Amino acid sequence: MPQTTDTPLPAVDTSLRFVRVIERRADGLVAFEFSIGWPELAVELMLPAPAFEAFCANNRVQRLDT
C-alpha cells in the first residue's frame, strides 16, 4: 500500500506561462516546450511559425530560450 506524506507541495502561480523553443524546422514548424506555473514541467508541442507567435502572444509567455 502506498505511503502518504504530509509534505506540502510548492505553490504554483498558474498565470505564469513559459515557452522554450527546441527547434525551428526547415518546413516552417516550431517545436517547443510549453509549461504553466512551473517551467520544469512542460509538454512538447509543434506549430507553424505564425501560429506559434500567436500562441505566445495569446498566452503572454515568458521565453526561456532567449
* Closest to 37 measured CA to CA, from 6, 8, 10: 10
pLDDT per residue as tens digits for the range 20-56: 999 999 999 999 999 999 999 999 999 999 999 999 9
**Max Cα–Cα distance, the chain, nearest Å:** 50
Give 6-28 as a DSSP string.
-PPPPP--TT-EEEEEEEE-TTS
Instruction: Indicate the DSSP class of residue 4.
Output: -
Q: Is the pTM of this model over 0.85?
A: no
